[in-house]
Amino acid sequence: MPKRRVILRTLTTEENDEISRLARSRKELVRIVQRAQLIKAMNDDPKLPASEAGFMVGYTSTASGPMWVKRFNEEGIAGLEDKPRSGKPVTHTEEVRSQLVDLALQKPRSLGQPFELWTLPRLQTEYEERYGLRLGTSTIWKWLQAEGLDWKRQQSWFQDADKHDPEFVEKRGPSSGHT
């Protein structure tokens, strides 16, 4: 039994104008432009089969052209947009992320901790104790980097001048570049 031919419905003036604009656009997503070009080709030549129009605009499957024409017929211009795709749902809310960043910006000593600097495991433990949720160190790292916070190895003996040993240089001995 032969497949039924997909016929493009009559476009409104507004749809025709928008399809023409999208089909020649250099700023829209290439997928949208390609789909608009498909609709424009079929609108310009009503005898053109949807699968053939699909090949003309770069699709390699006979099913792509008819699929996009059907979507356009049903949904109009909005039908040319991508639909949401499946994937892993978001694991943590923005509130969780915000709480972590807020915690990372505080000095550990001000929170009663016996150390001066956060490490990823320390931050992970503190967050879990406060909020009852364990975050992976890679998640913590990504979130803090996204906020513009970088983890650097700090040399704790250089932090407070009054804690410096006045004989440090003599005790250290010669270093490279110094005699």
pTM: 0.50
Q: How many CA atoms lie within 13 A of 69 on its CB side?
A: 27
In a domain, 50, yes or no: yes
Last residue within a domain, chosen from 25, 46, 80 = 80
- SS3 category, 155: coil
What tens digit of pLDDT does each residue of 74-101 get? 999 999 999 888 888 878 988 999 999 9
Helix (H) or strand (E) holding 147: none
pLDDT value, residue 173: 65
Across the chain, what does the average pLDDT equal? 86
pLDDT tier, 176 (very low <50, low <70, confident <90, very high otherwise): low
Q: What does the angle CA 59 – CA 78 – CA 74 come to, to the nearest 5 degrees?
A: 80
Please check the confidence at residue 47 and state whether its pLDDT lies above 70.
yes
In a domain, 58, yes or no: yes
pLDDT, average across residues 62-84: 94
The larger pLDDT score, comparing residue 11 to residue 172, is at 11
In a domain, 160, yes or no: no
Instruction: Single out the residue of 143, 137, 9 nearest to residue 76, CA to CA.
Output: 9
pLDDT value, residue 175: 60
In a domain, 167, yes or no: no
pLDDT value, residue 4: 78
Domain total in the chain: 2
Do 52 and 101 sit in the same domain of this protein? no
In a domain, 47, yes or no: yes
Domain containing 133 equals 94-151
